[in-house]
Amino acid sequence: MGVPTRADLASIPDYIIPGQPPGTILLNSNESSLPPLPSVVEAVTRAAAEGNRYPQWFSEDLVARLADELRVPESSLAIGCGSVSLCQQLVQAYCAAGDEVLCAWRSFEAYPVFARVAGVHARTVPLDAEHRHDLTAMADALSPATRVVFVCNPNNPTGTAVSAREVREFVERVPDDVLVVLDEAYREFVTDPDVLDGVLLTREHENVAVLRTFSKAYGLAGIRVGYCVGAPAVVSAVNKVAVPFAVGRPAQAAAIAALADTEGVGERCRTVAAERERVREALLRAGLRVPASQANFLWLALGYRSGDFAAFCARRGVVVRLFGNEGIRVTVGLRHENDVFLQAAEEFAAITLHG
Ligand SMILES: *Cc1c(COP(=O)(O)O)cnc(C)c1O
């Protein structure tokens, strides 16, 4: 029967990785369909050649480069092995048994999992009728036990974003001793000028931290590097609970090389955003309900039909992400990939909505 784990581990779900048969179009993980730039691959190769040496402890070179890019002091940046790692570090650094993490639902699935791993209760507040964060209800749900609030903007998996005014009003209502974490994993795909750049807010509020990643817009999901922007006290707390040397040399080098071409990245993101609008309009024309998205994916609120739809797509060689009986999330890929998906969606809609 083996060695018993701590008792509450049984309540934490195992990771289930769905099949991704070779040759299929992968629109299930919000990755970039394009490989990293050759200059990034070269930087990774050079870094690998020094793989006998430990990497920089705090990714100092990357911190310096990012500080320049974001116009923030180096002391306000922490680097992590993907921004999910930084999510976990924030929970570990700020929460102890009896404390609470507050987040929206549906939102990023990692938040409640990290809370439970830390032995902390995750209180969730339903999204509003438009699949957006209900920040008024979230402010009302704050309790004396709340230590960390996650606001995923744009939200994964619905793609919806809250406005600058809404975020500012929310932060005003949060006590100074509660940390607001703005998870901006999809910030680079935002086209709506009403959506706040969270980094600005970190300059005004010491209890606001922003998480960003190289996994999505920069196309480095397999390399694992993300960052946290916040007050120096937040950064040192995050760094204290980090796994030593979790961000390897290839990851640090890849991020630095990727930052050399922010224009190219911006161009890729604009293409994705334009495709997002094209795909959404076609889905709406087909009679499907799809909230406006500011990310590199769309949410189809298909309810009990979600499983059938995911299976229908799979038979046409497209892997989408299924969320039980709630909906499916589809990543915006390259034009020809999106066209294969759209064809499947249109056929499905014709059969189930009108058939
Ligand atoms: C993808 C994603 C992340 C970051 O993932 P990493 O690969 O760990 O950087 C963080 N938050 C949300 C909401 C995401 O969707």
Structure tokens at 69: 């890019």
Site to substitute for ligand 1 among 62, 83, 293, most atoms within 8 A of C-beta: 83
Contact partners, residue 298, CB within 8 Å, separation at least 6: 159, 276, 279, 280, 283, 290, 329, 330, 332
Torsion from C-alpha of 21, 22, 25, 28, nearest 10 degrees: 50
Write the burial class of residue 45 (CB in 10 Å: 0-12 exposed, 13-18 middle, 19+ buried).
Answer: exposed
User: What type of residue is 341?
Assistant: F
What distance in Å separates the CA atoms of residue 107 and residue 326, rounded to the nearest whole number? 12
Choosing from 79, 85, 108 the residue with most ligand 1 atoms within 8 A of its CB, the one to mutate for a pocket test is 108
- Cα 2 to ligand 1 centre (Å): 34
The answer to whether 248 and 50 are in contact (CB under 8 A) is: no
pTM beyond 0.95, yes or no: yes
Is pLDDT above 90 for 279?
yes
CA of 155 to the centre of ligand 1 (A): 11
Determine the distance separating the centroid of ligand 1 and the alpha carbon of 232, expressed in angstroms. 22
At 303-347, the pLDDT tens digits run 999 999 999 999 999 999 999 999 999 999 999 999 999 999 999
The model's pLDDT over 142-185, given as tens digits with 9 standing for 90+, comes to: 999 999 999 999 999 999 999 999 999 999 999 999 999 999 99
- Strand, helix or coil for residue 67: helix
Report whether 54 contacts 347 (CB < 8 A): no
Q: Are 7-30+263-352 and 38-260 in the same CATH fold?
A: no
What residues does 209 pair with on adjacent strands?
Answer: 181
| Percent above pLDDT 90 for the chain | 93
Q: Of 239, 217, 244, which is closest to residue 228 (Cα–Cα)?
A: 239
**pLDDT tens digit sequence for 81-91:** 999 999 999 99
Instruction: Provide the mean pLDDT of the chain.
Output: 96
Per the DSSP assignment, residues forming a β-bridge with 179 are 148
Nearest Cα residue to 20 out of 320, 323, 331: 320
Say if ligand 1 is within 6 A of residue 62 CB: no
Residue 129's Cβ-count burial label (10 Å; 0-12, 13-18, 19+) is exposed
Q: What is the DSSP letter of 296?
A: S
- The CATH number of 7-30+263-352, from 3.40.640.10, 3.40.50.800, 3.40.50.300, 3.90.1150.10, is 3.90.1150.10
User: Which has more pLDDT, 262 or 149?
Assistant: 149
- Estimate the share of the chain in helix, then strand, then coil, as percent rounded to the nearest 5: 45, 15, 40
Does residue 202 line the site of ligand 1, with CB under 6 A? no
CATH T-level assignment (fold) for domain 38-260:
Aspartate Aminotransferase; domain 2 (3.40.640)
- Amino acid at residue number 66: L
Is 159 a pocket residue for ligand 1 (Cβ < 6 Å)?
Answer: no
- Residue-range domain boundaries for the chain: 7-30+263-352, 38-260
82 ligand 1 Cβ < 6 A: yes
pLDDT at 100: 97
pLDDT grade for 355, boundaries at 50, 70 and 90: low
Mean pLDDT of 114-122: 94
DSSP E strand stretches across the chain? 25-26, 77-80, 100-105, 121-126, 146-152, 179-183, 208-213, 226-229, 297-300, 318-319, 321-323, 327-331
Whether residue 70 has its Cβ less than 6 Å from ligand 1: no
Ligand 1, residue 81: give the atom nearest the CA: 8
